[in-house]
Amino acid sequence: MNIHSDFSIKAVINTLELSWQLSPMQGVTRKYLDRIGDELARATSIVCYAPNSKFTEHMHDGGEEILVLEGVFSDEHGDYPKGTYLRNPPGSSHSPHSIEGCTLFVKLRQFHSDDISIIRTNTTVATWYPGLVPGLSVMPLHEFDGVGTALVRWAPNTIFNPHVHPGGEEIYVLNGVFHDEHGSYPAGTWIRSPRYSKHAPFTKSEGAIIYVKTGHLDYPLKTT
């Protein structure tokens, strides 16, 4: 299976308009954003656990990154409410489930093999730091070998400088509406921009909060 597998092409998806796809486990459904491979795939997805659903124990041979969008996600190591950011490194395993149900943003098999940190961050209480321009705040989540992941909060009517992403950029809009000269992206929009893409982002009266990953679209892709 290949979905948006050409990383030299920009991809923009309103995930609210995608249909849910069945997974091997009853009660767990997915929306595919990009994917290379079948069930064991390098993948970016929105994943939904119905109440009282579970997934069988499995190992993450290329790592797993999760941002809990709604509900409470759980495994044998703990419970992770909305706003939790998780990193399960290569070689880790777990048996995930959800009692009340949850929705997740998930990236699979995209870790550098030496990136072995376990991260559990509750972004609802973590610290925001001033950004590079007035109205911008940043919450760093992870940094390794030139790949950075953060939440970025845009106050209404914030304008950022035009800039280039040598290693590419990936955005998921969590709240509000994000804009650049190429378009407007409401909450639920996923944007993957290729290496050396450039834009001049801004917000209007709604403001926005976005998940951002940069530097990870180098060729060859830095995966296990």
Convert the pLDDT of each residue in 56-100 to its tens digit: 898 888 999 999 999 999 999 999 999 999 999 999 999 999 999
CATH code linked to domain 129-214: 2.60.120.10
Domain layout of the chain by residue ranges = 2-122, 129-214
Instruction: List the chain pLDDT tens, one digit each, 224 residues.
Output: 899 999 999 999 999 999 999 999 999 999 999 999 777 778 999 999 999 999 989 888 899 999 999 999 999 999 999 999 999 999 999 999 999 999 999 999 999 889 999 999 999 999 999 999 999 999 999 999 999 999 999 999 999 999 999 999 999 999 999 999 999 999 999 999 999 999 999 999 999 999 999 999 975 554 44
129-214 matches 2-122 in CATH topology: yes
At 219 the pLDDT is: 56
Question: Does domain 2-122 correspond to CATH entry 2.60.120.10?
Answer: yes
Both tokens of 121, joined, read 């961050």
Residue 220 neighbours by CB under 8 Å, 6+ apart = none
Would you state the pLDDT for residue 224? 43
- Amino acid letter, residue 45: S
Give CA–CA dist 162/221, Å, rounded.
26
Task: Single out the residue of 56, 75, 78, 68 nearest to residue 102, CA to CA.
Answer: 68
